[in-house]
Structure 1
């Protein structure tokens, strides 16, 4: 029995020694190779070649994970079960995450290239000093129309109520977008906190229902490219893909008012590789990288030097780079708070049920 006991002890010691050697060799093989940076971003929202380039330059491997909504991203980070080093939420969600202490306050001394960002895209209401976020892409909400199916192209939100467009409008599925259209058509802010204005906007949307063919999300691109509808309400980046897929499609930003949105880079409070996150922010602020990304994605870049590098037919297209006059009438979504956002959602849901 003693011999068996000694034998087992010996085997255990050998296993432990071998494990220690293996672990040591693994550590040695990793020395000077790569760290890891976990990026949490929208799907297909960066040129993959840029991720490879970043790794080649810095030695930092990128673990690129995706989400399909701001709310899904927020929930993952708020729960804290998974570590993300950098993510790219939209403006209203940035404000919410700031309020809930979910973001790292940026050390501006570690950021290089902020001067490349157009000043009009800095210091906005959702992050007044850019203490927590750096612009990545921006865009608008607007109208896509097919010139073979529309005799009188819509130019403003109010035009969508025309009988000419009966059963021919694809509406993006979003409470803020739908309610915003109703509010702005009536001359109100898309961030209205007035209950009477909200109810009036919802009532006005009911009158639009005969013209609505469908309320959809990602499917809008395919439908419009395939001539399934004459008109769509969608975001500028989605519109860019539609126009690439169908030469008869055009994009218009209502000059009297629409949504101006921003997706910004932030560092979540639970980040483990904060220095790597700063390195990536600086990498994306470099004009040549921002330019490459804008060409690949098709969204508007806030980087002035990158914009200058774009082809003339892209940077001079006011549908995607609106004039300063149009920009004055565009509004950024405010963080309305849970209760008021619930009112928007309830009214929009009633509208969706009404049209059925």
Structure 2
């Protein structure tokens, strides 16, 4: 009996000890939640070291872990197709202005201004479009053309369309031709089949339209049009004139390119390329390392000025992180690092960058890595920074009326058909020539074989008869 009581008491004490340990033990800290942010951007369009830094920043502000998934696309059309499916989990896209117009008109993207009030303001984050961080001239330009576009996007990069060239082979006389250089109007034999053009209906269309204006080849009814009106005109009669000009160009160009033009110019495979200013700036710096001198030129007649902006699709699963990412990319230090990495010009206001100590310290570090020869050329870090931000290629005048912005084509199907005909021009006729040459060769070969067979048979009969 005593043993039973003693055992029972021991059992009660053991249970009490376990319960006490569970109830009064220190509580283990809960694991932080892990979120995902999907960024869908153009290739080679971000300093990738910023990704991990943003993930750390997000953890500091929200207390949650963040996995940033970064993927790229080659064209705005590829991006639009993916977003328009409606079943993606993309949180950030970086389209061009005409694609933003189409996304907005088809109700595929959020108003960033409204999301900012919901997610940005509670965190003390100001909308870059409204606090002077983004270049106000860019905001005025896109809103003046597209309406309320600054409600739907925060500008990221911007620039112009122009002529990139190899200075060893392209003369000042060639450049004086303006857009006519893509037709080799100065008849420089060195440029024959050494000219590249973008494989893009929009860029080549703008180039051809401005060439026609520059050489007074426009019909009378279009001569009073501004550049803005001309590069967006898709009237059937006007389109036919542009199409013929692009077909005529096929006789002198090397071909069409998407992203290898700058490499071909550096390597001397081509001497002239239709290029975006950001690509040109990047290529010029890369070529200089190899001792190759490249240049970039926008003809006086004018050009296309373009803008890419950050948007949030309505399929976004993490709009708070998307808003924070946009704000982080608009910080002056992020803007400068992106510019150095990709060559393009940030939409962040220059004065904001120059006033930022961290951004200036970064530029000083870059300057210190220059060769002694380059340092001597600039004459000091202050002079280098001043030249960097006053470069007209990098920072064109956004208010220049001769720089037009392209919108979504009104008759897109007709434009695509026109572009297909242009690219096929001359190819089909050569295919026919080759085809008929093969057919003629085949006929003669067949005839020759039949004659040879008859001859051999005749000799065989003659031998048998003998």
Q: Distance in 2 between matches of 1:55 and 1:353?
A: 48
Q: Which stretches in structure 1 are left out of the alignment for 5+ residues?
A: 1-27
Q: Distance in 1 between matches of 2:397 and 2:306?
A: 15
Bigger mean CA offset, 267-276 vs 342-351 = 342-351
Please state how far the C-alpha of 1:127 moved relative to its aligned partner.
5.1
Please state how far the C-alpha of 1:230 moved relative to its aligned partner.
1.4
Could you list the per-position Cα deviations for residues 258-302 of structure 1 after superposition, in whole angstroms to 9, with x for gaps in the alignment?
211111000000101011111111111211211221121110111
Q: 1:173 to 1:129 in 2, by over 3 A?
A: closer
| Secondary structure of the corresponding residue to residue 186 of structure 1 | helix
Please state how far the C-alpha of 1:210 moved relative to its aligned partner.
2.5
**Which residue of structure 2 lines up, in the alignment, with residue 133 of structure 1?**
153
| Secondary structure of the corresponding residue to residue 205 of structure 2 | helix
**Which residue of structure 2 lines up, in the alignment, with residue 172 of structure 1?**
198
Q: 1:251 to 1:343 in 2, by over 3 A?
A: same
Could you list the per-position Cα deviations for residues 14-39 of structure 1 after superposition, in whole angstroms to 9, with x for gaps in the alignment?
xxxxxxxxxxxxxx998325422111
Matched, 1:249 2:322: no
Please state how far the C-alpha of 1:243 moved relative to its aligned partner.
1.0
Q: Distance in 1 between matches of 2:56 and 2:162?
A: 39
Q: Is this contact kept in 2: 1:173–1:215, CA < 8 A?
A: yes
**Which residue of structure 2 lines up, in the alignment, with residue 219 of structure 1?**
260
Compute the TM-score of the two structures, normalised by the length of structure 2: 0.66
**Which residue of structure 2 lines up, in the alignment, with residue 51 of structure 1?**
51
Please state how far the C-alpha of 1:153 moved relative to its aligned partner.
4.1
Q: 1:250 to 1:153 in 2, by over 3 A?
A: farther
**Which residue of structure 1 lines up, in the alignment, with residue 370 of structure 2?**
none
Could you list the per-position Cα deviations for residues 163-201 of structure 1 after superposition, in whole angstroms to 9, with x for gaps in the alignment?
113222111111111122111222361111322111111
Matched, 1:157 2:179: yes
Bigger mean CA offset, 81-90 vs 108-117 = 108-117
Q: Distance in 2 between matches of 1:147 and 1:220?
A: 15
**Which residue of structure 2 lines up, in the alignment, with residue 209 of structure 1?**
250
How many aligned residue pairs are there?
A: 326
Matched, 1:112 2:127: yes
Q: 1:127 to 1:299 in 2, by over 3 A?
A: farther
**Which residue of structure 1 lines up, in the alignment, with residue 94 of structure 2?**
88
Please state how far the C-alpha of 1:244 moved relative to its aligned partner.
2.1
Residue in structure 2 matching 1:76, options 82, 85, 109? 82
Matched, 1:288 2:288: no
Q: Is this contact kept in 1: 2:40–2:71, CA < 8 A?
A: yes
**Which residue of structure 1 lines up, in the alignment, with residue 139 of structure 2?**
122
| Secondary structure of the corresponding residue to residue 116 of structure 1 | coil
Q: 1:30 to 1:255 in 2, by over 3 A?
A: farther
Q: Distance in 1 between matches of 2:30 and 2:159?
A: 42
Q: 1:205 to 1:30 in 2, by over 3 A?
A: farther
Q: Is this contact kept in 2: 1:143–1:253, CA < 8 A?
A: yes
Q: 1:206 to 1:30 in 2, by over 3 A?
A: farther
Bigger share in helix = 2
**Which residue of structure 2 lines up, in the alignment, with residue 5 of structure 1?**
none
Please state how far the C-alpha of 1:250 moved relative to its aligned partner.
0.3
Q: Distance in 1 between matches of 2:329 and 2:88?
A: 24
Please state how far the C-alpha of 1:238 moved relative to its aligned partner.
1.7
Please state how far the C-alpha of 1:256 moved relative to its aligned partner.
1.4
**Which residue of structure 1 lines up, in the alignment, with residue 123 of structure 2?**
none
Q: Distance in 1 between matches of 2:88 and 2:294?
A: 41
| Secondary structure of the corresponding residue to residue 206 of structure 1 | helix
Q: Distance in 1 between matches of 2:334 and 2:412?
A: 36
Q: 1:205 to 1:31 in 2, by over 3 A?
A: same
**Which residue of structure 2 lines up, in the alignment, with residue 319 of structure 1?**
393
Bigger mean CA offset, 50-59 vs 102-111 = 102-111
**Over the residues paired in the alignment, what is the CA RMSD in angstroms?**
2.1
Bigger mean CA offset, 107-116 vs 171-180 = 107-116
Bigger mean CA offset, 218-227 vs 158-167 = 158-167
Q: Is this contact kept in 2: 1:138–1:263, CA < 8 A?
A: yes
| Secondary structure of the corresponding residue to residue 423 of structure 2 | helix
Please state how far the C-alpha of 1:306 moved relative to its aligned partner.
5.4
Please state how far the C-alpha of 1:249 moved relative to its aligned partner.
0.6
| Secondary structure of the corresponding residue to residue 90 of structure 2 | coil
Matched, 1:240 2:261: no
Could you list the per-position Cα deviations for residues 115-170 of structure 1 after superposition, in whole angstroms to 9, with x for gaps in the alignment?
11111111412353511100000111110111111223425213433211322211
Q: Distance in 1 between matches of 2:107 and 2:148?
A: 16
Q: Is this contact kept in 2: 1:138–1:299, CA < 8 A?
A: yes
Residue in structure 1 matching 2:210, options 177, 184, 190? 184
Please state how far the C-alpha of 1:47 moved relative to its aligned partner.
0.7
